[in-house]
Each structure stands twice: as structure tokens, then as C-alpha cells.
Structure 1
Amino acid sequence: MAKDASFDIVSNVDMQEVKNGVNQAVKEIESRFDFKGSKSSIELKEGEIVLVGDDEYKLGAVNDILQSKLIKRGISPKSLQYGKMEPAAAGTVRQTVKLVQGIDQDNAKKIVKLIKDSKIKVQAAIQGDQVRVSGKNRDDLQAIIQMLKNSDFPIDLQFTNYRS
């Protein structure tokens, strides 16, 4: 059993599920009575979602609808990064929501530090926008996964490529 077991820690968003969630949210906005005659909308662009509402209250309602549809489709709210609310054309307000893909360097360093501080005998290495964890004992890897699931990171983490 000299061979190392390993897994990757990633933060990816399934764009097909995002597209489906956005489409469902648009349908709900078009059919809801409180949005009749409203200029509210949701638009999916390259790696971001643009929310438009008549005012801050309507924009909040649009955001709530979008979040509920995305959560039902398995997209974590941690995968959404909200921009500032800004005035738009015809007296409306707009907000851009960026979809977080990959683990940025700061969070990758925090993950590696947390793994090293745990004193579990595994190695963690940053590889681009993911972190690879390897070790001789599979139980140690399971303990790392459980520890990371229980810790509160500002991004959504998935564990892939589990090899033993």
C-alpha cells in the first residue's frame, strides 16, 4: 500500500443548471401577478447574471426568485458574487451577479493552511484554480473532506477525482 490516494478540491458551477435556473426564474417573473407591468428581468451573460428591477424592493424580489430556483438546482448561494446596485435606464436599478468558477489564490492558501494545521498526515498543493490533497491513508483523506465540509469557506467546495 505504498501508493498515495488523492482527491481535488474545486469550486465549479454547472452552467447548464444555472441556465435552467435562470430560465425558470424568468418564467416565474413573467407569470407572477406582482410583476405585471414591471420592467424586472434576469439575463444570463458570459459568466454573470444581470438582474433588473423597478426599484430596490423589486430587485430584491427578483434576487429571491433567482436564488430559490438556483438552490433547487443544486447551485450554492456561495457561488454567487454580488456587485453594487446601480441606477439603470427608465428609472430601474440593475445589479450584476458574478458566477464564481475556481478557487482564487487567497482561499486556496487558506485551505492549504487549514489542512496543514490539522496535523493529519497528508500533502496539499495548489494547482491553478484547485487544490490537490494526497496521502497514504484513505481515512486521513476522508477526515480532511469532513473537516473542510464543516469549516465555513466563502466559496462552495466540491471534492473530485478521488483516487485510491
Structure 2
Amino acid sequence: MPSFDIASEVDKVELKNAVDNANREVTTRFDFRNVEARIELKDLTVTLTSESEFQVRQLQDIFNSHCAKRNIDLAGTEMPDEPIHSGKLHSLPITFKQGIEQPVAKKIVKLLKDQKLKVQASIQGDKVRVTGKKRDDLQQAIAVLKQSDIEQPLQFENFRD
């Protein structure tokens, strides 16, 4: 029986490359000369730090553009609305989510059931497995999920006939 898995993961190597390239750009930019500004990656949290809130927002734009070049979707991130102020520095932590959380997984299963497709979806940990009798049904399910308004980036893997 054909099946595939729906996952939501961030490519850690591409994320590290995006951070490195953004830091390289910050060191060459004139408006960041003699200013303490840095972009750090620890686990799956990127921290943008600078001396003013405006500069933190500029760092965010630089980082976002480098993520776009590396095909890293920022839809599945958590960040505060305002930068955190401590001492003379402002910082903005951006946390990338790994895996599909239970409420989002239930939303995916409900979406597939509401479309009346001939597929079954089951939650397996932080992934959702979709099975069906025909390959075409699974491809329809992928198309429906790509059109949906789920706030997390989804990858479709393990497609088996």
C-alpha cells in the first residue's frame, strides 16, 4: 500500500550556512562599523544582538534574506514581537520548531478527512503518515496540504509504492 510521511524539520547545515553568510555580510557593511552586532546559532535558536533596536531589525532583514537564499522557511519560527533589552544591548531570539506538534498534526488529519480523499492519516510521534490505495490519491493529498494555511513548513518524505 503506498504511503508517505509528513514532517517539519529545518536543515541544520543550511541554517548554519545562512548564519555564517549573514555574519560575513554584517562585518562588511558600513552601517555596522564600530558597532557590536552579531548573529549566533545555538541548538535551533538564532540570536540577533546589537546596540539598538533599529540595528536588530536590520540584522533580522539580513538574516531573513540569507534564509530565503538557502530555502529555509521562516514560517515555523517563534520570536517575540519586540527585541529584548538588557544593559546596552538589544537581542532578538528566533527559535526554529522541529517536528509537527500534536495540535498541528490533528489539523492535518482533519484537513485530509474533510477533503474526502481516499487516504488515511495517522499521527506517529512528530510526523504524520498518510496511506492510500493509489499513488494518485497520495499526490492529491500532497497538493491539498501545499494549498492549506498550515503555519509550519512541511516536507513530504518516504514516499513508497
Decide: shared fold, TM above 0.5.
yes
Unmatched runs of 5 consecutive residues or more in structure 2: none
The number of aligned residues is 160
Q: Which of 20, 31, 34 lines up with 1:34 in the alignment? A: 31
Q: Which of 120, 124, 148 lines up with 1:123 in the alignment? A: 120
Hey, what's the Cα distance between the residues in 1 that align with 2:94 and 2:51? 17
Hey, what's the Cα distance between the residues in 2 that align with 1:122 and 1:134? 6
Q: Secondary structure at the match of 2:83?
A: strand
Contact kept? 1:21, 1:69, Cα under 8 Å: yes
Aligned to 2:83: 85
Q: Secondary structure at the match of 1:94?
A: strand
Write out aligned runs for 1:7-156 (5 A).
Answer: 7-83=4-80, 85-89=83-87, 91-156=88-153
Equivalent position amino acid for 1:56 in 2:
E
Hey, what's the Cα distance between the residues in 1 that align with 2:159 and 2:57? 39
Deviation at 1:80, TM superposition (A): 2.3
- Point out the more displaced range, 74-83 or 116-125: 74-83
Contact kept? 2:45, 2:95, Cα under 8 Å: yes
Q: Secondary structure at the match of 1:140?
A: helix
Deviation sequence 1:37-72 (CA, Å, 0-9, x none): 111110001121111122121111000101111111
Q: Secondary structure at the match of 2:98?
A: coil
Hey, what's the Cα distance between the residues in 2 that align with 1:145 and 1:109? 16
**Runs of 4 or more above 6 Å deviation:** none
Q: Secondary structure at the match of 1:155?
A: coil
Hey, what's the Cα distance between the residues in 2 that align with 1:159 and 1:59? 34
- Point out the more displaced range, 25-34 or 50-59: 50-59
Deviation at 1:152, TM superposition (A): 1.5
Deviation sequence 1:112-144 (CA, Å, 0-9, x none): 000011101110000000100000011110001
Task: Determine whether 1:163 maps to 2:131.
Answer: no
RMSD: 1.0
TM-score, length-scaled by structure 1: 0.94
Aligned residues: percent identity?
44
Hey, what's the Cα distance between the residues in 2 that align with 1:139 and 1:100? 30
